[in-house]
């Protein structure tokens, strides 16, 4: 069985007057059939950029600088956006607050019509309405929502309804970029339950779920990738990642509160001094080494990937531990930043 998505050494950056902001750097990961792959990390670490790359929503100033992406076993042409016939069928995107951006005079049934009409030119408004109502009912949501306007639905219901409508064409892959960040905890859990239901009914086959919220990640993801400064630090089974993290950054993150708001971007992770680097001028070697209590001179060179493609960490200390060597720091962190 091929992976739904496979990124290999994928790199991309924003072209700015000050140079290239390398927002995604050498990322290798896969999304397997039947799973929710979570992507977490502090604000500005590149989560949304990675989501845009995986969805092939690549628009200037974002530019791919290296690597490959396979979708459902086929190498994707990263110089082109996802072709229209594959939008909604191979892949759909569920953004944050999707329906807030929709014209307030558009009812849910009009949205369903637009989604279906993009692929079935002969679809009628009546049958689009019926199919949307049926799908809502099948998933335990009120079918009458099809006749409602966005403002008539609560925020949580709106986001669940959009999730249902955007998956009407049974896309194999759903990319959910912070879909729940504006929701209260019970609405978040209801959205997670809905995504799980969509997967178990095989309406969708895999989900990439982006969030800065680690407690939420625990309830939604089968595996989690942790990003730091554009790179993956660690990827593994959710339980292992949250209970026995290997990478010093994951350990720090798990023990801290993540904050998404731009004005607190310089928030310090509890117990770790410093802040994430400027991606226009990142440190050499391990991106985390200037803040890592275990860093030594080796960390000035790129860390090896330790583990297989299902579960790995990029870290010299983890590599040494895997070889039975001591992991004590031998130099003061902070060099090379
Ligand atoms: N259009 C742009 N032009 C230049 N730099 C950008 C642009 N969009 C994002 N960036 C930069 O790219 C880096 C990664 O941003 P990205 O939005 O992918 O991070 P994120 O982890 O999703 O953050 P957040 O959780 O705040 O959404 C950041 O340093 C950001 O400032």
121-141 residue pLDDT tens: 999 999 999 999 999 999 999
Whether the pLDDT of residue 334 is over 60: the answer is no
**Interval 221-239 mean pLDDT:** 97
Cβ–ligand 1 distance for 48 under 6 Å, the answer yes
Nearest CA to ligand 1 atom 16: 46
Cβ–ligand 1 distance for 43 under 6 Å, the answer: yes
Q: How much of the chain exceeds pLDDT 70, in percent?
A: 90
19 lines ligand 1 (CB under 6 A): no
The residue to mutate among 11, 22, 23, 281, having the most atoms of ligand 1 within 8 angstroms of its beta carbon, is 23
Cα–ligand 1 centroid distance for 9 (angstroms): 19
- Can you tell me the distance from the alpha carbon of 101 to that of 188, in angstroms, rounded to the nearest whole number? 19
Structural domains of the chain, ranges and CATH numbers in brackets: 1-90+172-284 (3.40.50.300), 101-170 (no CATH)
Find the 276 Cα to ligand 1 centroid distance in Å.
13
Q: Which DSSP category does 292 fall into?
A: -
Burial 45-74 (b: 16+ CB within 10 A, else e): bbbbbbbbbbbbbbeeebebeebebbbbee
- The residue whose two tokens read 């625990």 is 218
| Nearest Cα residue to atom 30 of ligand 1 | 44
Please report the pLDDT score of residue 266 as a whole number. Answer: 43
Q: How much is the pLDDT for 329?
A: 52
Please tell me whether the interface predicted TM-score (ipTM) of this complex is above 0.85: yes
pLDDT in the model for residue 98: 66
Please tell me the residue having the least CA distance from ligand 1 atom 28: 44
CB neighbour list of residue 102: distance below 8 Å, 6 or more residues apart: 111, 150
In the reported structure, the alpha carbon of residue 229 is separated from the centroid of ligand 1 by a whole-number distance in angstroms of: 10
Residue nearest to atom 14 of ligand 1 (CA): 46
CA pair distance 149, 309, nearest whole angstrom: 45
DSSP, collapsed to helix, strand or coil, labels residue 49 as: helix
pLDDT, residue 180, reads 83
Q: Pick the range with the lowest mean pLDDT from 6-10, 206-210, 327-331.
A: 327-331
Does any ligand 1 atom lie closer than 6 A to the CB of residue 279? yes
Identify which has the larger pLDDT, 298 or 268.
Answer: 298
pLDDT of residue 319: 96
From residue 290, alpha-carbon distances to 226, 245, 260, 282, 293 in Å are 18, 19, 22, 10, 9
Question: What distance in angstroms lies between residue 149's CA and the mean position of ligand 1's atoms?
Answer: 32
What would the two tokens of residue 233 be? 């630090």
Q: How confident is the model at residue 336 (pLDDT cuts 50, 70, 90)?
A: very low
Distance 228 CA to ligand 1 centre (A): 12
Question: Strand 173-177 to strand 91-95: parallel, antiparallel, or no bridges (unpaired)?
Answer: parallel
- The rounded Å distance from CA 46 to ligand 1 centre is 6
Beta sheet of 231-237, edge-to-edge order: 91-95, 173-177, 206-210, 36-40, 223-228, 231-237, 311-314, 305-308
Please provide the average confidence, as pLDDT, over all residues in the chain: 90
Structure token pair of residue 296? 């030594």
């Amino acid at each position: 069985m091929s992976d739904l998505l496979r990124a290999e050494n994928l790199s991309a950056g924003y072209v700015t007057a000050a140079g290239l902001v390398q927002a995604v750097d050498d990322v290798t990961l896969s999304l397997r059939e039947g799973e929710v792959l979570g992507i977490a990390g502090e604000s500005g670490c590149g989560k949304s950029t990675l989501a845009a790359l995986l969805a092939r929503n690549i628009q200037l100033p974002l530019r791919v600088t290296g690597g490959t992406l396979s979708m459902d076993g086929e190498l994707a042409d990263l110089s082109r956006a996802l072709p229209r016939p594959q939008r909604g069928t191979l892949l759909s995107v569920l953004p944050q607050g999707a329906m807030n951006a929709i014209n307030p005079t558009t009812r849910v049934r009009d949205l369903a019509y637009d989604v279906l009409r993009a692929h079935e030119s002969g679809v009628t408004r009546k049958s689009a309405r019926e199919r949307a109502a049926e799908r809502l009912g099948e998933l335990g949501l009120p079918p009458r929502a099809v006749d409602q306007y966005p403002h008539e639905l609560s925020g949580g219901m709106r986001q669940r309804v959009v999730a249902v409508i955007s998956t009407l064409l049974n896309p194999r892959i759903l990319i959910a970029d912070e879909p729940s960040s504006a929701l209260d905890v019970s609405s978040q859990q209801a959205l997670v339950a809905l995504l799980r239901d969509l997967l178990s009914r095989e309406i969708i086959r895999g989900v990439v779920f982006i969030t800065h919220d680690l407690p939420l990640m625990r309830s939604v993801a089968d595996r989690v990738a942790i990003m730091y400064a554009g790179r993956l630090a660690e990827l593994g089974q959710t339980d292992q990642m949250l209970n026995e993290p290997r990478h010093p950054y994951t350990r720090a993150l798990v023990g801290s509160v993540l904050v998404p708001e731009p004005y607190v971007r310089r928030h310090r992770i509890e117990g770790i001094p410093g802040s994430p680097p400027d991606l226009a001028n990142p440190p050499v070697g391990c991106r985390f080494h200037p803040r890592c209590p275990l860093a030594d001179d080796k960390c000035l060179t790129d860390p090896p990937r330790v583990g297989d493609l299902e579960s790995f960490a990029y870290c010299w200390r983890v590599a040494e531990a895997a070889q039975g060597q001591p992991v004590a720091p031998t130099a003061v962190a902070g060099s090379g930043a």
